[in-house]
Amino acid sequence: MTSFYTYLSSPVDWCEPNFTHSGWIAEWWNTLSSFIILLVGYMGVKTARGKNNEQILKQLSVCVSFIGLGSVWFHATLSFGGQFADEVSILILLFILLNRFYRWSKMVVFILVMIAFTGMCLFPWWNHLELMLLGFLTVRQFRLRLANGAPSSSAWILRLALWIFFLAVASWGIDHLCLTQRFSFHALWHVLIGITAYLGLYWLGESILPL
């Protein structure tokens, strides 16, 4: 159990060199950029009252806040506990969205969550692939919303969010391949995915379409 909280206990180590700016923070820029995600979630919670889709907007904003907290913990320590907190929060957010889109039964949701959760525990080095797959399934549903006629007054927000999401994934891929250590592309991923989340939450609050 000690290793759950221990520095460097995660099997995942991103491209940014460790402990270059502080003896307490493993990945300096990845940790600082994670606060952007936390801030987006906090702003979503604070501004959700009275918005369209208020209930789901609050749920997603809370999830984004926990993703930010988990990301800060993960990149500051590179601990398995931090990785687990970060990725489970993402998993919960994605399942909330996918369940809204597909209207799964409670039994189906339970089975899928248990499969994903078990995979995270047994194969933590493959979690990013699992989350990316679920993420693209979610993005596909948002693209279908656009194709099926999202209100023109808010469609540009969702369209911009999707384009920034693809830029974010490209940044994540560059960092995953560790093509350069001169610039933290994973920190850029945090910034871009934070902007994506902000635009997505904003669109959800303005959209007349129920989610």
Could you tell me if 135 and 67 are in contact, meaning their C-beta atoms sit under 8 angstroms apart?
no
Structure tokens at 118: 């078990």
DSSP symbols for 74-108:
HHHH--HHHHHHHHHHHHHHHHHHHHHHH---HHH
Residues 135-193 pLDDT 10s: 999 999 888 877 776 666 678 898 999 999 999 999 999 999 999 998 999 999 999 99
Q: Which long-range contacts (CB under 8 A, 24 or more apart) does 130-133 make?
A: 131/87, 131/90, 131/91, 131/94, 132/169
Non-local CB neighbours of 191 within 8 Å, separated by 6+ positions: 33, 36
* Cβ atoms of residues 96 and 114 within 8 Å: no
Report pLDDT for 130: 85
Residues 6+ apart with CB under 8 A from 105: none
**What global pTM score does this model have?**
0.91
Compute the chain's Rg from CA coordinates: 17
Among 182, 193, 187, residue whose Cα is nearest residue 32: 187
* Alpha-carbon span 40 to 46, nearest angstrom: 10
Residues of the chain with confidence (pLDDT) below 50: none
- pLDDT value of position 151: 61
Distance CA 79, CA 8 (A): 5
